[in-house]
Structure formats: C-alpha cells, structure tokens
Amino acid sequence: MPIPCFETVEQVIEKLKPGYPVYCLRPAEIDRQARFFLDMFPGRVLYAVKCNPHLEVLRALYEAGIRHFDTASLVEIALVREHFPQADCYFMHPVKARAAISTAHQVYSVDHYVIDHVKELEKLIDTTGGGDGLVVLVRIVTPEHDAQYQLSDKFGVPADQAAELLRQVHKAHFQTGVAFHVGSQCRSPEAFVDGIKTALEVIAEADVPVHYLDVGGGFPALYEDDQPPPLEEYFDSIQRAFDQAKLRRDCVLMCEPGRALVASGCSLLTQIQLRKDDRLYINDGIYQSLSETVFGKMKLPTRLINPYRSISSTSQDFTILGPTCDNLDILPMPFHLPDDAEEGDWIEIGQAGAYTNAAATRFNGFFPETYVSVAAPPLMPTTAGS
Ligand SMILES: Cc1ncc(COP(=O)(O)O)c(C=O)c1O
C-alpha cells in the first residue's frame, strides 16, 4: 500500500497530530541523489540495502535508475528480488551461512559474492559447485583514513595475503574481483585512491585476470559540524586512479554507497513528551532511530515545530533523552532549540535516512514504523552538486 503523501511536515502534524515518531521521506531528494551518483560516478552504482531497506526508499532508488543492490542477507535479497525482479543482487557480506548461499544462488540467481578468507571460498565451491559464470570478489584491508567507522577492523584479508586468495578464486574457475570499504562517513577522497593503489598491488602480485574492482561505500553525507569535501572530488579521484591502472579493458568499476544516497532523503518527526528544565524527553532515542548519534557521533540538524502556537525566537541548548527506561538513552550532544520548547511540541530531525529505521530495536516496546512522503525539501542540503 502506498504511504500517505503531504506537501510539508506541518501538514503531517495537522493531519496526524502524531504522538509517535514519523519518518518523513523525501522521494524527490532520493531521486536527486541517485541520479547524481548514476551520472557522476565513473562506473556501476550499487545501493547498500542495509542502510535503509524501507520499500519506499528502494522504490525511489529503483525509479531513479538504480538496478544493482548490495545485499548482506537472504532477507535483503528476497526483499529486492521479490519487489524488483529485474534488479540484480550482490551478496556482499564476507561471512555467509551455507543455506543462505545456496538459496541466493538457486532461488534468486545471485551471481556476485564477496569473501575474505579461504574457508568462505570453500563454502562457495561446496554450495554452488564453483565456476559457472559466478563472480567472487576478495575483500581486502586498506589503509585507514578519516572515516567515522573503520570497517577494516572487522572484515578484509590483509593485502599481503590477498594475492594468494585471489589466485585460488581464479583456480576454482570463478570470475575474480577485488573489493574494499574505506569506512563509513569517510572524509578523505584520498582513502579511495589508497584503496585502489592497494588493490592494484594485490592484482599485480596475483597475476590473474580481474573482472571487477569494487571501491565500496563510505561516501559521506552532511551532518551538523561535519562538512566533508563534495562528492565530485571523490569521483574525480577514483576516476583518475582507475584510469591510470593497467587493468583489463572490460574490468568493471563499482561502488556500493548507502549513507550518501539516502541520509538526506528522510527526516524524523518526534514529539516532546516532557520538559524538565533543559532536558527534553522525546519519543525516539538511541535504541530506535538515533543510535548513530552515539556510535558515530553524528549530530543531526533539528527544528522545533508547533503550528498551534507562536514559538520563541531565542534559543538555548537542551539535552535530549529517549523514551526507554535505560539511562544510556540520552543523546550525547546538546541540541540548540527555541527556549520555550514544551511538551507536545514536535522536533523534526534531519539527515535521518541512513542507519535509523534500519538499526531500530523494539526495546521497551517502542518501535518507529510510520512512514509518510513529504514534497518539501529536506532540512539540510546534501553533498550532491547543488
Ligand atoms: C560491504 C558494505 N558495503 C557498503 C556499505 C555502505 O556503506 P556507507 O553507508 O558508508 O556508504 C557497508 C556499510 O556497512 C558495507 O558493509
């Protein structure tokens, strides 16, 4: 069923008077971001479904032209393939259950897989029979740069062991590829250049034909107090490094962004349940949509709204507390809001499209799941060419 559509967030409030959190999707913004990536990135663009798997988000991306999806689980693969049968899924989690691999392969015709260990290669050979036009990408560790999350802490084969793994992939008659992830919310285009450099060293040492180079996600979104370089700088750096590489002519360059595609495409409408001095208790928190304020220190833009009264023009810092009984459920940075904020006012939280609903738990019985669509632009612009 399509989600309800509104012109503005104020109209959402007037119609629903929501005492529960509401995700306000901006399909036009997602469309803009997706087209920007498709036009400007010098290769194939996959969307990392884990970042926001809501069907309306996937639909907006698909309608903008995204046809390739980085999926981490069988559930994500089923979601994409059932709703968009023409789309391709890539199974990009380096550690997969055997049953998930065989179902992905046999039921959903997935033919791209990532590994970072020889035992995972053995699993793929056992479950798929090997070869048969399947692609196996070896995920490598790349040098650390200024990223908010360092994904190489968990996944990737060290560069000095990667060539041997790549040779074994080739020997098992799979098409080969090399993949990396520079870390999420990466503020340095150079991270991608270094990643490509490392991948090229591995490829040269392995001395086997390589069909895919996947530079991963990590492209940044804008947050308050966090203004990374424009995405064009990332794309230019990647293009230069790829053009200088002596790879097969038909080697496919890919990326798999999540955050940069969808962060700006959704805001979160919350409500103040109680004010105690400079503490505002709201109906969403770190166990629901706002865990990234803690794990990633992301400071999200906010605005106070109440169409039923005039709001003070002077502001002050507030502490925002989530709805659960847990004492950790307090946002770790102050928020500057009108000083007469009170119970019943709404707070719109911007840049809330990435790793929000995707990471929400049902802790204490709170679970945000209402989505509406809003035509008005987002609270903050994005790094996509303005
Ligand atoms: C394998 C893989 N690809 C892509 C992404 C998306 O990263 P980002 O949202 O930083 O673009 C992630 C995020 O965890 C990932 O693990």
Q: Point out the ligand 1 atom lying closest to the alpha carbon of residue 257.
A: 11
- Domain-embedded: residue 384: no
Q: Which of 231, 261, 291 is the last residue of a domain?
A: 261
- Domain-embedded: residue 137: yes
Q: Is the pLDDT of residue 170 over 60?
A: yes
Q: Is the pLDDT of residue 385 over 60?
A: no
Q: Which of 261, 285, 315 is the last residue of a domain?
A: 261
- Count of C-beta atoms within a 10 Å radius of residue 283: 20
Residues 88 and 186 in one domain: yes
Residues 228 and 332 in one domain: no
Residues 11 and 39 in one domain: no
Cα–ligand 1 centroid distance for 89 (angstroms): 15
Residues 202 and 315 in one domain: no
Q: How many CA atoms lie within 13 A of 209 on its CB side?
A: 10
101-105: Cβ within 8 A, 24+ apart: 101/127, 101/128, 102/127, 102/128, 103/74, 104/74, 104/77, 105/134
- Domain-embedded: residue 383: no
The answer to whether 116 and 156 are in contact (CB under 8 A) is: yes
The answer to whether 69 and 88 are in contact (CB under 8 A) is: yes
- Domain-embedded: residue 189: yes
Q: What is the mean pLDDT of the chain?
A: 96
Cα–ligand 1 centroid distance for 114 (angstroms): 13
Q: Is the pLDDT of residue 378 over 60?
A: yes
- Residue whose CB lies within 8 A of the most ligand 1 atoms, among 45, 61, 151, 215, for a mutation test: 151
Residues 224 and 303 in one domain: no
| Pocket of ligand 1 contains residue 188 by CB under 6 Å | no
Cα–ligand 1 centroid distance for 171 (angstroms): 29
Q: Is the pLDDT of residue 384 over 90?
A: no
In this prediction, residue 386 carries a pLDDT of 42
The string of pLDDT tens digits covering residues 70-124 is 999 999 999 999 999 999 999 999 999 999 999 999 999 999 999 999 999 999 9
Residues 218 and 327 in one domain: no
Q: Look up residue 77 and give its DSSP letter.
A: H
Cα–ligand 1 centroid distance for 86 (angstroms): 23
The answer to whether 378 and 267 are in contact (CB under 8 A) is: yes
Residues 205 and 267 in one domain: no
Q: Which of 236, 261, 286 is the last residue of a domain?
A: 261
Q: Point out the ligand 1 atom lying closest to the alpha carbon of residue 94.
A: 1
* Amino acid occupying residue 216: G
Q: Is the pLDDT of residue 125 over 50?
A: yes
CA torsion, ordered 228, 49, 351, 222, to nearest 10 deg: 0
Cα–ligand 1 centroid distance for 141 (angstroms): 14
User: What residues have CB less than 8 Å from 84, skipping those under 6 apart?
Assistant: 58, 62
Residues 170 and 306 in one domain: no
Q: Point out the ligand 1 atom lying closest to the alpha carbon of residue 259.
A: 9
Residues 38 and 123 in one domain: yes
Residues 139 and 152 in one domain: yes
- Residue whose CB lies within 8 A of the most ligand 1 atoms, among 37, 50, 90, for a mutation test: 50
| Pocket of ligand 1 contains residue 257 by CB under 6 Å | yes
Q: Point out the ligand 1 atom lying closest to the alpha carbon of residue 72.
A: 1
Cα–ligand 1 centroid distance for 217 (angstroms): 5
pLDDT grade, residue 381 (50/70/90)?
low
What does 209-252 look like in DSSP terms, one character per residue?
---EEE--S-----BTTB-PPPHHHHHHHHHHHHHHS---TTPE
Q: Is the pLDDT of residue 150 over 70?
A: yes
Phi-psi region of 277 (alpha: psi -120 to 50; beta: other; left: phi over 0): left
Residues 31 and 113 in one domain: yes
- What average pLDDT does range 336-365 have in this prediction? 98
What does 158-215 look like in DSSP terms, one character per residue?
-HHHHHHHHHHHHHTT-EEEEE----EEE--HHHHHHHHHHHHHHHHHHTS---EEE-
pLDDT grade, residue 380 (50/70/90)?
confident
- Domain-embedded: residue 381: no
Percent of the chain with pLDDT over 70: 98
The answer to whether 254 and 46 are in contact (CB under 8 A) is: yes
* Amino acid occupying residue 125: I
Which residue's CA is minimally distant from atom 4 of ligand 1? 217
| Pocket of ligand 1 contains residue 368 by CB under 6 Å | no
Cα–ligand 1 centroid distance for 219 (angstroms): 9
Cα–ligand 1 centroid distance for 216 (angstroms): 7
pTM for this one? 0.97
* Domain containing residue 10: 5-24+263-374
**Domain harbouring 34, CATH code:** 3.20.20.10
| Total domains, the chain | 2
In this prediction, residue 180 carries a pLDDT of 98
Q: Is the pLDDT of residue 58 over 70?
A: yes
In this prediction, residue 164 carries a pLDDT of 98
Q: Is the pLDDT of residue 308 over 70?
A: yes
Q: Is the pLDDT of residue 44 over 50?
A: yes
**Domain harbouring 307, CATH code:** 2.40.37.10
| Pocket of ligand 1 contains residue 228 by CB under 6 Å | no
Residues 115 and 150 in one domain: yes
The string of pLDDT tens digits covering residues 257-307 is 999 999 999 999 999 999 999 999 999 999 999 999 999 999 999 999 999
